[in-house]
Amino acid sequence: MNLGNLTADLCADHKAEFCQLLRSTEREGVEYVIEDLENLGFFEAPASTRFHLCTPGGLVQHSLNVCHTALELMEMMHRRRPDLKSVLRKDSVILCALLHDVNKAEIYKPVVKRRRNAANTAWEEYDSYDVDFSGFPMGHGEKSVIMLLLSGLQLRDEEMLAIRWHMGAWDLAFQSPEAKSNINEARKNHPLCGLIQCADGLAASIIEHTAPGLEP
Ligand SMILES: [Fe+2]
Ligand SMILES: [Fe+2]
């Protein structure tokens, strides 16, 4: 898929900011993660096939949106609950927000689809994506955690939990009683889980919202 000059420039800016934020955590293994994400096509991937940011570079843009939102929420929570400052750590928030969706890096395949044109007078072709889970069909949040560990990233327990359960009630596994107990325990004991869930939801449903007539 041709990114076009403007989009390619924007993607490069987003990639630079993503890597700079990731390196700011000084966490062991971030260079391996960046290398693996480059090889998987993370920085060119969309965030979805047809929902939020379904364009080249959408996934890194979404990750940055979640990170900015999560850092603002963290500041707010620190003001309201100063006792939680040592629990809601900035490096943890950055790592979880930027990396929660790395599972999507290699699932979207560019395809050309056909549709009726706006005047409904003819068929036209347009660039789109299909989804293909066959590369590593491991799930969603759990796949992100496993990919990061395989890359060699050192993750704290609460960071693994926040990434694993970032979809909250939108996760299909949440329908099982055991998964429900797990996510409830994770949220109860680790405020980072609730913060990342909120930031992801706010980014996807408000910041990246593009209903007709409401485009930014
Ligand atoms: Fe996700
Ligand atoms: Fe997300």
Closest ligand to 166 CA?
A: 1
Distance 102 CA to ligand 2 centre (A): 9
Asked whether residue 121 is assigned to any structural domain, the reply reads no
Q: Between 56 and 212, where is the model more confident?
A: 56
Asked whether residue 62 is assigned to any structural domain, the reply reads yes
Distance 64 CA to ligand 2 centre (A): 10
Distance 118 CA to ligand 2 centre (A): 31
- The rounded percent of the chain whose pLDDT value lies above 90 is 77
* pLDDT level of residue 216 (50, 70, 90 thresholds): very low
Q: Between 7 and 100, where is the model more confident?
A: 100
Distance CA 163, CA 145 (A): 7
Residues 6+ apart with CB under 8 A from 66: 97, 98, 100, 196, 199, 200, 203
Give pLDDT, residue 2.
45
Distance CA 30, CA 26 (A): 8
| Structure confidence by residue, pLDDT tens digits, 39-89 | 999 999 999 888 788 889 999 999 999 999 999 999 999 999 999 999 999
Closest ligand to 207 CA?
A: 2
Q: How many domains does the chain have?
A: 1
Across 9-29, average pLDDT: 95
Distance 102 CA to ligand 1 centre (A): 9
Distance 85 CA to ligand 1 centre (A): 26
CB 55 within 8 A of CB 46: yes
| Number of neighbouring beta carbons within 10 Å of residue 22 | 23
Distance 120 CA to ligand 2 centre (A): 34
* pLDDT level of residue 1 (50, 70, 90 thresholds): very low
How is residue 46 written in tokens?
A: 């969309």
Residues 6+ apart with CB under 8 A from 24: 91, 94
Give pLDDT, residue 213.
54
Give pLDDT, residue 172.
76
- The rounded percent of the chain whose pLDDT value lies above 70 is 94
> Residue 61: is it exposed, middle or buried by C-beta count within 10 angstroms (0-12/13-18/19+)?
buried
Asked whether residue 1 is assigned to any structural domain, the reply reads no
CB 60 within 8 A of CB 159: no
Distance 26 CA to ligand 2 centre (A): 23
Using the structure block, give the residue that is written with the tokens 């900015």.
68
Asked whether residue 67 is assigned to any structural domain, the reply reads yes
Domain that holds residue 195: 8-109+140-207
Q: At what angle do helices 58-80 and 90-99 cross, to 10 degrees?
A: 150
pLDDT, mean over the chain: 91
Torsion 43-158-75-203 (CA) sign: positive
| Structure confidence by residue, pLDDT tens digits, 106-138 | 999 999 999 999 999 999 999 899 999 998 999
